Amino acid sequence: MIDELLKYQDADGKLRIIEQEIASTEERKKYISARKFLEKAPEKLEALDVRAAEFKLIFERLEKKYAEIADTIRDYENLDEMIDEQGGEIGFYKKNASAIAENLKNLKSEINKLVQQIEKTSAEYAAAKKQTIAMQKQYKEYKEKYAAVKEARAKEISEAEAELKKLEKDVPPDTLAKYKAKRKEKVYPVVVEVAGNRCPQCGMELSIAEISKLSDGNFIECDSCRRILFKRK
C-alpha cells in the first residue's frame, strides 16, 4: 500500500508545483493584495466616519462652552457698575474674571487641538478613499490577468488531476482522506519515511512504542509536524 500512496504523492507533487508557480505570479499577488485591501476598506472608512462624527459633537460642545464663557467675560467689562449695584470688593471680581479668562484660554487650546485631530482624520479619510479607488482599479485589472494565468495552465492542471483520480483508486479511502486533509493544510510532503528513530522533516524523536508500530508496517502521525510516517520492512 505504501508504494501506491507514494505514487499518489509524487503525482500530487507535480500538481503542487503548478499551483506554486501560479501562486508566485505577479498577477496573483496584485490581485490578492487588492482583494484583501477592499475587504477591509469599508470597515476602515466607517471607523473614520464614526471618529469624524464624534469630533463634530465634541467641537460643537466646546464651541457652546466657549460662547458661554465669552458672554460671562463681557459681563465683567462693566465691572464698575456691578460693584455699584451688587457691592463687594473689586479684588473679588477681578479674581473671578482672571479665573474665567484662564478657563477660556484653556478651552481655546482644547479646541485648537481638536481642530488638528479633525484635520488629520479628514486627511486620513481622503487618503483612504483615494487608495480604495486605486485598489478597485487594480482588483479589476489583475483579476482578469490572474484568470488568464490560470487559464493558460488549465490543461496541465486538468491532466495532473486526472492522474491523481486514477491513482487514488489504489489507496484506501481512510488513508486518502487523511492525506487530503493534510494537503489542504499545506503540509507537503505528507508521507515520509522515518530516518532512524526520527521524523526526517522536523527531527522529532519517536518513542519506542511508535517505532514498534512502524516496524509492524503501520503508519503513525508525527506529534510535531503532523506528517504521516512509515518505515519499510
Write down the pLDDT at residue 91: 60
Q: Is the pLDDT of residue 83 over 60?
A: no
Q: Is the pLDDT of residue 199 over 90?
A: yes
Dihedral of CA atoms 211, 215, 219, 224 in degrees, nearest 10, equals 20
Query: In the chain, which residues fall in CATH 1.10.287?
Result: 16-162
List alpha helices for 153-205, DSSP H: 154-167, 173-184
**68 vs 3, which has greater pLDDT?**
3
- Mean pLDDT across the chain: 88
Length of the chain: 233
Q: Is the pLDDT of residue 233 over 80?
A: no
Write down the pLDDT at residue 36: 95
Write down the pLDDT at residue 182: 93
% of the chain residues with pLDDT over 70: 89
| Closest to 141 (Cα-Cα) out of 43, 30, 221 | 30
Listed in sequence order, the residues at least 6 apart from 47 whose beta carbon sits closer than 8 Å to its beta carbon are none
Q: What is the DSSP letter of 225?
A: T
115-155 pLDDT, tens digit per residue, is 888 888 889 889 999 999 999 999 999 999 999 999 999 99
Instruction: Give CA–CA dist 189/14, Å, rounded.
Output: 12
Write down the pLDDT at residue 150: 96
CATH number of this structure's domain 16-162: 1.10.287
15-73 pLDDT, tens digit per residue, is 999 999 999 999 999 999 999 999 999 998 888 888 888 888 888 888 888 787 777 76
Compute how many other C-beta atoms are within 10 angstroms of the C-beta atom of residue 118.
16
